[in-house]
């Protein structure tokens, strides 16, 4: 490569903003009194302008309206609202039943206990109090004073337990019927309906 070619190559890089400072100085020195180089630079600017004018611009294409109308005309995937109703009913039932199990009744309310070894026991709803023991095994502490655990109290507790069980079964059946009726798949409805005695059996009773 001749010196002139090197000068031109440096000018070419300068055109593209890729010239280093030292090279830029050399280019300016070489072009200063060289009309042929100045003419080369000038012609290259025009050629560059012609080439750059051929850059493809954006097509101006706008497909947004067609996309929007196409999407609007197609059925949209939507979650069936009956599903969320069934789920909400299940959660509500669980909360109601769970809450009732934890609620203290008047007879079964835990009373503050005093350990027979002098330690205090803090009552916790739904938890089995444990008395501290000096041997390896914890000793459960009764939540009832001995005098309150008579026959009458046991009968009352059993009655409440029956009432709670009946209520649980009734609510469960109601929920199953409601969920089956609201379910989008009919066969599930049939399956749920089988959990109750058939109609003719009920009539025979």
Partner 1 sequence: MVTASEADQKLVQRAQRGDLRAFDLLVLKYQGRISALVSRYISDPGEVEDVTQEAFIKAYRALERFRGDSAFYTWLYRIAANAAKNYLVAKGRRPRSDASIEDAEAFDEFGLSSDSGSPEAIAMGNELVSVVDAAMQALPEELRAALTLRELEGLSYDDIAEVLGCPVGTVRSRIFRAREAIDERVREQIGGGSGFR
Told to check if 8 binds partner 1 by CB under 8 A, we report: yes
Told to check if 13 binds partner 1 by CB under 8 A, we report: yes
Among 2, 3, 22, 53, the residue binding partner 1 under the rule CB under 8 A is 53
Question: Could you tell me which stretch among 27-35, 63-71, 133-141, 167-175 binds partner 1 (CB under 8 A)?
Answer: 27-35
Smallest distance from partner 1 to CB 18, Å? 5
Beta carbon nearer to partner 1, 47 or 204:
47
Q: Looking up tokens 């560059």, which residue turns up?
A: 48
Q: In three state form, how does the secondary structure of the chain look?
A: CCHHHHHHHHHHHHHCCCCCHHHHHHHHHHHHCCHHHHHHHHHHHHHHHHHHCCCCCCCCCCCHHHHHHHHHHCCCCCCCHHHHHHHHHHHHHHHHHHHHHHCCCCCCCCCCEECCCCCEECCCCCCCCEECCCCCCCEECCCCCHHHCCHHHHHHHHHHHHHHHHHHHHHHHHHHHHHHHHCCCHHHHHHHHCCCCCHHHHHHC
Residue count, binding to partner 1 (CB under 8 A):
38
Among 2, 3, 46, 147, the residue binding partner 1 under the rule CB under 8 A is 46
Among 22, 35, 76, 118, the residue binding partner 1 under the rule CB under 8 A is 35
Among 2, 22, 50, 136, the residue binding partner 1 under the rule CB under 8 A is 50
Of residues 157-196, those binding partner 1 (CB under 8 A)? none
Smallest distance from partner 1 to CB 63, Å? 23
Contacts with partner 1 by CB under 8 A lie at: 5, 8-9, 12-19, 21, 24, 28-29, 31-32, 35, 38-57
């Amino acid at each position: 490569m001749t010196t002139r070619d090197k000068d031109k190559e440096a000018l070419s890089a300068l055109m593209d903003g890729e010239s280093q400072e030292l090279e830029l100085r050399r280019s300016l020195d070489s072009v200063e009194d060289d009309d042929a180089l100045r003419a080369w630079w000038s012609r290259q600017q025009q050629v560059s302008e012609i080439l750059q004018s051929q850059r493809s611009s954006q097509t101006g294409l706008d497909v947004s309206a067609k996309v929007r109308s196409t999407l609007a005309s197609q059925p949209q995937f939507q979650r069936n609202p009956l599903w969320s109703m069934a789920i909400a009913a299940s959660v509500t039932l669980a909360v109601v039943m769970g809450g009732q199990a934890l609620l203290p009744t008047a007879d079964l309310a835990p009373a503050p206990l005093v350990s027979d070894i002098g330690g205090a026991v803090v009552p916790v709803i739904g938890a089995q109090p444990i008395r501290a023991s000096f041997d390896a095994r914890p000793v459960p502490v009764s939540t009832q004073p001995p005098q309150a655990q008579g026959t009458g109290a046991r009968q009352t507790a059993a009655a409440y337990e029956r009432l709670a069980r009946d209520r649980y079964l009734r609510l469960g059946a109601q929920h199953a019927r409601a969920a089956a009726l609201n379910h989008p798949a009919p066969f599930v409805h049939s399956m749920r309906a089988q959990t109750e005695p058939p109609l003719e059996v009920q009539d025979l009773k």
